[in-house]
Amino acid sequence: MIANTPRPPYYAVIFSNIRTEIEEGYVETALEMIRLAETQDGYLGHESVRENLGITVSYWKNTDAIRNWKQQTDHLLAQRMGREKWYAAYKTRICLVERDYEFGISDS
């Protein structure tokens, strides 16, 4: 599903990753991180896909909201587990969205 973001400007955090073969706890933690992110002040939505390369883009009101999410206690634990078990490699990019446009998305 495509996230319903507000009019720009806002921020996008792009998390690209390559998984290891370790599955233990990954799905449960990923679902919990989505649930927690949705409760964070400044969270605007996210989109996520996985084939061989995983990409999750989360949208945030400002850089303070991103910084607070990065430092959230359970998220810090998930980050550590990601480095230790679940990811062979990852890269995070933080971008200012200055403009967006759409096609085929209703305002429902």
Each residue's pLDDT tens digit, 32-43: 999 999 999 999
85-95: per-residue pLDDT in tens? 999 999 999 99
Q: Which domain holds residue 54?
A: 10-97
Q: Cα(51)–Cα(9) distance, rounded to whole angstroms?
A: 30
The answer to the question of residue 51 being in a domain is yes
The answer to the question of residue 17 being in a domain is yes
The answer to the question of residue 102 being in a domain is no
User: Which residues of the chain form beta strands (DSSP E)?
Assistant: 10-19, 43-50, 54-60, 87-97
The band of 47, judged by pLDDT with boundaries at 50, 70 and 90, is: very high
Q: Number of H helices and number of E strands within the chain?
A: 3, 4
Number of domains in the chain: 1
- Sign (positive or negative) of CA dihedral 47, 38, 68, 32: negative
What CATH code is carried by the domain that includes residue 27?
3.30.70.100
The answer to the question of residue 104 being in a domain is no
The answer to the question of residue 72 being in a domain is yes
